[in-house]
Amino acid sequence: MTIDDVEYELTRQEATALQDAVGDALTERREFFRTAGTHREDGSYEVSRRGADSSGNAKVFETFDGLRRLFERLPEEFTAEDVGRTGITGSRRHLLVRHFAEHPTFDCRIGSQNPLTAVKASASSDVDGSDGPPAEVGAD
């Protein structure tokens, strides 16, 4: 292998270790209070329940931008039912509402627990001039 006009020769073991390190660098998992997000090696993004090991507790998007576009299409206040209108079914709808509220990229918070409702930041400050109630304890 050549880097900056310097030639390097790797043993099979060194090449395997380098390949593993590159794969780890392309895969990133962030855990939040109730959800987790994983940027996968193939470029997809998986939202899952924190600590769950079943695919029934996950939703995979082709890219993180796909998740961002879904968030942008949702109303200023949205519930699992609103998420379900996009074709996402079952408990994954609630999972996504929570993930949007927990992930720092998405400027929203949980507004109520029953029904589970997320409120985008622009909507919460428009209501009474405040930022709304504090975020859930333990949310990142």
Question: Is 109 inside a domain boundary?
Answer: yes
135 to 23, 35, 77, 128: CA distances (angstroms): 34, 15, 15, 17
Question: Is 53 inside a domain boundary?
Answer: yes
Task: Kindly report the pTM of this predicted structure.
Answer: 0.71
From the list 90, 20, 98, the residue with the least C-alpha distance to 55 is 90
Which residues share a beta bridge with 46? 38, 60
Question: Is 136 inside a domain boundary?
Answer: no
Question: Is 7 inside a domain boundary?
Answer: no
Instruction: Give me the number of domains the chain comprises.
Output: 1
Question: Is 9 inside a domain boundary?
Answer: no
Domain of 59, in residue numbers: 26-128
At 76, the amino acid letter reads E
pLDDT tens, the chain, 140 aa long: 777 888 888 788 887 777 666 665 557 889 999 999 999 989 999 999 998 776 668 999 999 999 999 999 999 999 999 999 989 999 999 999 999 999 999 999 999 999 999 999 977 554 444 444 444 444 44
Q: DSSP strand E in 62-102: where?
A: 77-79
Provide the pLDDT for residue 112: 96
